Amino acid sequence: MIDGRALILACSAIGAGLAMIAGIGPGIGQGFAAGKGAEAVGRQPGAQSDVVRTMLLGAAVAETTGIYGLIIAIILLFANPLISNYDSFAK
């Protein structure tokens, strides 16, 4: 039989895996932005600095979603607040 603590750990591991799915979106978005940036520089080489600056800003904004997902996964795996709440109620 599975106890409450083991169930919380199992669900937290599943939740951490689901949180890491958030890394797919930034990867696709950054690849798309880099491709369009390369096309823009190929069409107008004189505007390279503006295109690269805008592309890097967009990539930084897109990456925040992946970083948030990573932070949630790390919290669920290593600093799980659900376990401490369970331990305080189980006593």
Is 72 part of a structural domain of the chain?
yes
Q: What was the pLDDT predicted at 16?
A: 92
Is 9 part of a structural domain of the chain?
no
Q: What is the CATH number of the domain that holds 47?
A: 1.20.20.10
What six digits make up the tokens of 62? 């897109």
Most confident among 2-11, 12-21, 58-67, 73-82 (mean pLDDT): 12-21
- Rounded to 10 deg, the angle between the 24-43 and 48-78 helix axes is 170
Domain residues for the domain of 49 are 31-79
**Per-residue model confidence as pLDDT tens digits over 27-51:** 888 888 888 888 998 999 999 888 8
The pTM of the full predicted model, rounded to 2 decimals, is 0.71
Q: How far apart are CA 63 and CA 86, in angstroms?
A: 33
In this prediction, residue 87 has a pLDDT band, given cuts at 50, 70 and 90, of low
List all residues 6 or more positions away from 49 whose beta carbon is below 8 Å from its beta carbon: none
Q: What was the pLDDT predicted at 15?
A: 92
Q: Total structural domains in the chain?
A: 1
Is 40 part of a structural domain of the chain?
yes
